[in-house]
Chain A
Amino acid sequence: MARGLPAAWSAVLGLPFVAGGLYAVVRSPNVPSEAGLPFIGFGGFVILLGLYIQFVAAPEPPTMRDGEEIVETRNPAQRAAAVKAAVGFVVLSVAGYLLFFTFLPYVYPLVTLVGGLYLFSTGLYAYWTNTLTTYYVTNQRLIKEYRFISLVREELPFEKVRGVEERRSVWETIAGLGNVRVASGGGRTLEVVVRNVYSPTEFADEVRGLV
């Protein structure tokens, strides 16, 4: 089962779309009733994908080698995704108001809808992707696991690590977040980028200590 409550949060985010769509179908005088169907469909998509992520998609912890043990487990922070989804949700609410409760030409609600959908969708998939991503630091390897339908596992043995790079933008510094890039040397460089983690300096130092 995935960490957090993606099913519950997805329902919270998806149900307003279903409700808005039903309103349009049943009684909005300002749009044809079928205009509510895409809203219902999108809301249903969000709710169902949240359920899938909660109960089906989460990856299992990696199998440990002999003498190997997990030192630390990290997950990407959800703060940026949540803010993006929330702002997108507000913009989409404005779009719904313009579409269902006013008689302005469609260009106004639709432009708002496109902007809101971009923010909301990018925030939502970031939230879901973060939910399905886990970074494991063992005493031998750094492992990134992601599973939506198929499993993606990236790992880097510490004996091959040639560099640990830490990056924080201004906004990430303010939010207490950062990215840590761990890379091997040589021709075909292996690397694992640990994104959007809290206390990245501490994490980077921990990796350096294991190298």
Chain B
Amino acid sequence: MSDGSTVAKIPLGQGYGLGYDGGNQWVAPVSEGRVVGGETGSADINWETPVEGVGVRPAVTEDQVFVSTVTTSPEGFSLEDPTSMDAEGQLYALDITDGSVLWETSRNGAGAGAPLVQNGLVYWTGTDGDILVYDVETGESTWEFKNDASLPRSPVAASGNIFAGGQDGYLYAIDARSGELVGRSLVGAPISTNPVAVDGVVYVGTDEGSIQAFEYGGGERLWAFEADASVRSLTVSNGLVIAGTAAGYYVLGDGESVESDGDGDTTTRTETDDDESWSGGGEPVAGGDEAAMRQRGLFSNDGDEPDALSNPFNLTTLGFLLSVAGITYQMFQGR
């Protein structure tokens, strides 16, 4: 366990997001368009790899490092509001021992969230709304989840699903292997934190200061708590939800009351099986309906079908009109 003492202080420049220290290696993307690495406990930089743009927190396997960068300047980079960056994203797979580039790819939107590595696949979200998935070894695309709403935060994996928070106010659950949309839960405001999945519950925080818990797989909202300011970070440990907001930290427990160390006030977490008790703005933000119509298709949810076939209004209207016509005709005939 760390005793808090400084082992090494390495002059690297400005960093965005955390570096990584695990095994015998440390890795850090820094602002000047490079990723550096070295041995744990040593201030020596063993390798340095130039990358395009500003890198965020890497994902690391035993022998690889995955770094997402946003092709903008350090001044133009904004972790707080990734959607404001009009920039492309790059994803680099580096050899952890020497920093050599194994493969790289790009996307239209900024990948401001850390990539997620799980079961031989790397999942990469971005402000263009897509989840791009690659084989960690070859860099070949495995599947893509197309979405209209921006997904600027890192996804999380649990129970065979990938959870990603959208700017359209929905928490998406996607099958990790197939990329099929399993379900989505209405959060009601742009999600501002990485989702956290623990013991069948996914937690998210929003720009409007709401902290919410959902069942896995697009399930019901279990509870919601209204904080005083935009939620910036979320951690779950030992049955406690710890949220950092622009106004202070909140620790949400299992009981009815919670503590805020911002001003010492005691506030209450609200069970929200009854949505009427939820005050977080229960409506999706603009574009939610449109997104739903495009994502949910007639035969699959991959979004590649013509809109006319993917619009339930057309299909149900046809069914009901036939039914009304049949009833009316038979009634006239008296059969």
Contacts and interface: CB of A to CB of B under 8 A. Distances in A.
A105 B313 contact: no
A192 B303 CA distance: 57
Contact of B181 (A38, A103, A128): A103
A106 B303 CA distance: 12
Interface stretch (B18-26, B90-98, B128-136, B285-293): B285-293
Contacts of A42: 320, 323-324
B335 interface: yes
A153 to B, nearest CB: 10
B298 A27 contact: no
Contact of B312 (A35, A41, A118, A120): A35
B334 interface: yes
A35 B170 contact: no
A146 to B, nearest CB: 4
Interface stretch (A109-117, A157-165, A182-190): A109-117
A134 to B, nearest CB: 12
A124 interface: yes
B65 to A, nearest CB: 35
Nearest to A150: B332
Contacts of A29: 170, 184-186, 284, 288, 292
Contacts of B327: 49, 121, 124-125, 128
Interface in A1-52: 27, 29-35, 37-39, 41-42, 45, 49
Contacts of B293: 31-32
A102 B180 CA distance: 13
B330 A31 contact: no
Contacts of B184: 29-30, 103
A133 B288 CA distance: 50
Contacts of B319: 38, 110, 113-114, 117
Contacts of B185: 29
A75 interface: no
A148 B330 CA distance: 10
Nearest to B181: A103
A107 interface: yes
Given A27-B283, A41-B320, A103 B332 contact: no
Leading 3 A-B pairs by shortest Cβ distance: A35-B312, A146-B334, A29-B186
26 contacts: A29-B185, A29-B186, A31-B296, A38-B313, A39-B320, A41-B320, A42-B323, A49-B331, A103-B296, A105-B296, A105-B297, A105-B299, A105-B300, A106-B312, A110-B298, A110-B312, A117-B319, A121-B323, A121-B327, A124-B327, A129-B331, A129-B334, A132-B334, A146-B334, A149-B332, A152-B334
